[in-house]
Amino acid sequence: MTSIATAAATPTAPSQIDTLSLEGLNPADPQWFVDDTIGNLLRRLRLEDPVHRSHSPVPGIGDYWSVTRYRDIMQVEMHPAIYSSDWSVGGISLMDFPPGEQQLQMFIAMDPPRHDEQRKAVSPIAAQGNLDGWEGLIRERTCKVLDSLPRGETFDWVDRVSIELTSMMLATLFDFPQEERRRLTHWSDLATSNKLTNPDAPEPEVRMAGLREMLGCFMKLWNERVNAPPRADLVSMLAHSPATRNMTPLEFMGNLVLLIVGGNDTTRNTMTGGLLALLQHPGQMKKLRADPSLIGSMVTEVIRWQTPLAYMRRTATQDTELGGKQIRKGDKLALWYLSANRDEAMIPQPDEFIIDRPMPRLHLSFGFGIHRCVGNRIADLQLRILWEELLRRGTEIELMGEPKRVRSSFVHGFSQMPVRIVS
């Protein structure tokens, strides 16, 4: 089997990060992500001020606590009554909604008991029987996508592979028409866009019009399925469960956004980040090719390495203490999973990409506690099959330029990655 060509490793901490004043430092500035210096910044906070009073000049974000140590994040996740996810106190993103504006309601941004009831309605989607049933279908599609890639010419891995495969899967999860699957990608991109932090993002009216179009389209599917016998797709599950069948349109829209973004951006960026990591670590690629039984632990390592959702927000419901800092009722906290996954106090050699780590599952990429990812096994399955088929073909890929990173401090990913298949 041939080896995949190498690319330069990501540069280490630019020297100015080590000398910046910590006061009011703002890891939620998307520029750190575009420049790929966020890891250096978070390391400094983790080592010097692990529960840090951060400040963003963006209206609607303002002051927040940056929680960067693994153990402190676990402490927060284990106490959802003290640290709320509920949309009514701010939800899961650092950006507050302007007063009076309607906020999308989704169960990731709800506290118990409503959270638990709505989660239960859709969690059977990842049941073992479904995963087994999809395996052949995912493999067939993966083969088709890989076999259709151009040879010897540059193409965008994000568009041709990562988006293509994840949008197909998403269409399957919703039983949405496959030929219209790119609409799901479009809605997912709209839902996560934000004009306040990204000047290139669509105007708020355009965003809302797109989401309304999504709602209209899914309302049709809902109406078809609510009167039909229950089936194993997400729309049918929402339409038939006692916890979700009487949702308001805003809740339906919110949960659609959750399921579309949850199943889309995250897996997509892990598909891209995984290839990049292996191209940047040729020794690990060689090890993988020599022993494909390492694919399972490699996929887990890639999910840690990429951490496709950089943080989740919580809001304190009472005065409390965390990591020696006094947290006041109403304070918001960013749980930086991206930092926890590089925490030297928990993870041996955290800055090394090691596909056969002894404890690969020691990471917080899927969160922890009552909100832990519903779709983690679906993501695992897609990633495993992609790598099985790439290895089986002995595909040799080379990086043809710097990947372009998404301008967001929430979604940690790539909008483009030019590559070429050498053979």
Residues that bind ligand HEM (CB under 6 A): 85, 92, 107-108, 119, 173, 258-259, 262-263, 266-267, 270, 303, 308-309, 312, 365-367, 371, 373-376, 378-379
- Beta-strand relationship, 332-336 and 397-399: unpaired
Closest separation in Å from C-beta 30 to ligand HEM: 18
Q: Which is nearer to ligand HEM, 202 or 296 (CB)?
A: 296
Separation of alpha carbons 212 and 201, rounded Å: 17
Closest separation in Å from C-beta 281 to ligand HEM: 19
Q: Which is nearer to ligand HEM, 211 or 335 (CB)?
A: 335
Q: Which residue is nearest to ligand HEM (CB)?
A: 375
Closest separation in Å from C-beta 49 to ligand HEM: 23
Q: Which is nearer to ligand HEM, 17 or 385 (CB)?
A: 385
Q: Which is nearer to ligand HEM, 23 or 132 (CB)?
A: 132
Closest separation in Å from C-beta 208 to ligand HEM: 22
Q: Which is nearer to ligand HEM, 30 or 375 (CB)?
A: 375
Q: Which is nearer to ligand HEM, 25 or 257 (CB)?
A: 257
Closest separation in Å from C-beta 349 to ligand HEM: 21
Closest separation in Å from C-beta 37 to ligand HEM: 22
